[in-house]
Amino acid sequence: MHSPVKEQPKTEYKMSHQELSEQELIRRNSLQKLRELGIEPYPAAQYHVNATSADIKENYKEEANNFQDVVIAGRLMSRRIMGKAAFAELQDQEGRIQIYVNRDEICPGEDKTLYNEVFKKLLDMGDIIGVKGFAFITQMGELTVHVKEITVLSKSLRPLPVVKEKEGKTFDAFTDPEQRYRQRYVDLIVNPQVKDTFIKRTKIYNTMRQMFNEYGYHEVETPILQPIPGGATARPFITHHNALNMPLYMRIANELYLKRLIVGGFEGVYEFAKDFRNEGMDRTHNPEFTVMEIYVAYKDYKWMMEFTEEICERVAMALHGTTKVQLGEHIIDYKAPFPRVTMTDAIKEYTGYDISGKSEAELREICDKLGIETDETMGKGKLIDEIFGEKCEHNYIQPTFIIDYPVEMSPLTKKHRDNPELTERFELMVNGKELANAYSELNDPIDQRERFQDQLKLSEKGDDEAMFIDQDFLRALEYGMPPTSGMGIGMDRLTMFMTNSPSIQDVLFFPQMKPEKKAVELSEDEKKIFNLLQDDGEKQTYPLDELKIDSELSNKKWDKAIKGLTSKKVAKVENTDAGLTVTLL
RNA sequence: CGGCCUGUAGCUCAGUUGGCAGAGCAGCUGACUCUUAAUCAGCGGGUCCAGGGUUCGAAUCCCUGCAGGCCGACCA
């Protein structure tokens, strides 16, 4: 019988207390003292606030003598104590406001404990308090709340980074990217520009939602767990449903579901969708990201270009009050209309080659001449895509629609009304990157089936990103889908562009990170076994009997050490065909 | 996956040729009733990312690993 339940809390308790810093111990001590003074550091009752820092700052007028009975709450961000009086800053959702605390005013009687002990000693920066008082302007001219009453709302047990500022210069800023992303809550508390970026992000969503609703379109939700990951070419995450005993994929796109809804009779549907792609991560890619997809019946891609221009204009105006937005060294102007450039013209312009009507072999030759690497799995579509990606894409800094893509690289797109080699598709390029992707949706079920079959051939050729055949989607199309235009826009990228953020991590609250590993402390005997396992080549697996002999430990010591290693998740014991083995984790 | 850089106190960072672990802010003690990076005096605080190695001696040199950043590759 093992009893991990009994042992584990004990060690954890011990460990967590060993790790406490001096400042953390002092704060825990203050917490205790508050309770001894009859002050609950985590009160249950609601605290009725009647103003915010921004309210007071925007609307206080000395001559009007308003805000004479305000109640505000927030986090204590700085303190300047001068004997019997003190200034401090309180930070609420809207920002910071200075408060003035006078000993004899918060302690009118003989007992000065509330000021001398509670305010001066037991409260710290980072604590959340509520204050009741009146607004006034100090001799130095700063709008301040003169405190009459102070309430502890939440004691903070960890010291915050102290960021100071003078004349626009920031001192000791909390800048370590790892800590900022892992502890976004701290980042948000001490770096106001970070909060601003995320407020803008929400404003982008609200602006778009409002526009779509004005148009009468319908916001919907479609499955994230999909039996067939369709609608895009990308490697999916795979998971497993236990009760159904079947694999499920995390969606890489929601396109095929939204089109089913168009078949079902909705004439305009949209979804802000979290998509998941099991691919590389870099400055512009996170494994989970958000795409807004919209489908409108009886429209085509030309209409959708104008609609997309309106989105960009409205979003820029809502955020900045102008269509001109700073992005790195460029100023991007989202004023409509944006130029429309065909893919053929774009390639002609930047490479000199005319790709129209060229065969696969001819295209491969052009790639060779341009110094673009190719391989056997690449079809016509992919070759053209490579040329555009290598030689053209990065040139489109100002918003530009690239239109009329080759049919091979757009399996869900209607063939061009004038040229069957092309499709009615556009991508909106901004700052050399794809921001939106749209087409006149393919609604010919027989054509769609053939396109899927072409994808299947690509897949057999070795393209592991080619699309699966979604039979139910084809069945839906066979019932008839009205001519429809659809568009997808990368919300993370849009937010980056609109907030001048160089990295996707700056526009995601919680970007994906490898887990923090806690240093595991091992006993002498545990280390001995650990080292034996570590030295055992790459596999780091050892037959249990052999390991025990090699460790030269007594039965008792061996037992204790190996149990210690398994309970700390350093190694595991497995019962295999070959007998018991020990593997390093 | 490859190259470069980073990891030292709660935060921001120094740390010389390998020779006692440092500063500012924060913290603690005290002074101070309109300050604002408040000020003044004093004090405490370290798994130098982890594990090995070289050495009389390692934050520093070497190896391995972990985490992060930037660039590139792959990838839309």
Rounded to whole angstroms, how far apart are CA atoms A197 and A30?
35
Long-range own/partner contacts, residues A500-503 (CB < 8 A, 24 or more apart)? A500/A325, A500/A326, A500/A327, A500/A328, A501/A197, A502/A283, A502/A328, A503/A283, A503/A284
Is strand B less than 7 A from the beta carbon of A112?
Answer: no
CA of A143 to C1' of B24 (A): 29
Rounded to whole angstroms, how far apart are CA atoms A236 and A245?
19
Residue A248, beta-bridge partner list: A239
φ, ψ (nearest 5 deg) of residue A61: -130, 125
> Which run of H or of E encompasses A549?
helix A544-551
Strands A571-576 and A85-92: unpaired
Q: What is the pLDDT along chain A (585 residues), one digit of tens a residue?
A: 333 333 332 233 233 334 689 999 999 999 999 999 999 999 999 999 999 999 999 999 988 889 999 999 999 999 999 999 999 999 999 999 999 999 999 998 889 999 999 999 999 999 999 999 999 999 999 999 999 999 999 999 999 999 988 877 888 889 999 999 999 999 999 999 999 999 999 999 999 999 999 999 999 999 999 998 988 888 899 999 999 999 999 999 999 999 999 999 999 999 999 999 998 888 999 999 999 999 999 999 999 999 999 999 999 999 999 999 999 889 999 999 999 999 999 999 999 999 888 888 888 888 888 888 887 777 788 888 888 988 899 899 999 999 999 888 888 999 999 999 899 999 999 999 999 999 999 999 999 999 998 888 877 776 666 677 899 999 999 999 999 999 999 999 999 999 999 999 999 999 999 887 654 555 455 556 655 655 544 445 666 766 666 665 555 556 555 655 554 445 556 656 555 666 655
Residue A581, beta-bridge partner list: A543, A574
Rounded to whole angstroms, how far apart are CA atoms A336 and A317?
12
Instruction: Return the amino acid letter for A401.
Output: F
Identify the sign of the CA torsion A447, A449, A452, A453.
Answer: negative
Q: Concatenated DSSP letters for A74-128?
A: EEEEEEEEETTEEEEEEEETTEEEEEEEEHHHH--SS--HIIIIIIIII--TT-E
Nearest to A225 by CA among A213, A240, A212, A235: A240
Is strand B less than 7 A from the beta carbon of A179?
Answer: yes
Rounded to whole angstroms, how far apart are CA atoms A46 and A53?
19
What tokens were used for A101? 């605390």
Residue nearest to nucleotide B47 (CA to C1'): A519
Instruction: Return the amino acid letter for A349.
Output: E
Q: How far is CA A178 from CA A124, A181, A186, A383, A512, in A?
A: 26, 5, 12, 39, 11
Q: Which residues from the 475-494 window of protein chain A have CB within 7 angstroms of nucleic acid chain B?
A: none
Is strand B less than 7 A from the beta carbon of A102?
Answer: yes
> Which run of H or of E encompasses A130?
strand A128-137
Q: How far is CA A173 from the centre of its chain?
A: 22
Q: Which residues from the 339-368 window of protein chain A have CB within 7 angstroms of nucleic acid chain B?
A: none
Q: What global pTM score does this model have?
A: 0.85
Is strand B less than 7 A from the beta carbon of A29?
Answer: no
Instruction: Find the angle CA(A506)-CA(A511)-CA(A517) to the nearest 5 degrees.
Output: 130
CA of A125 to C1' of B43 (A): 21
Contact of A296 with A484, CB cutoff 8 Å: yes
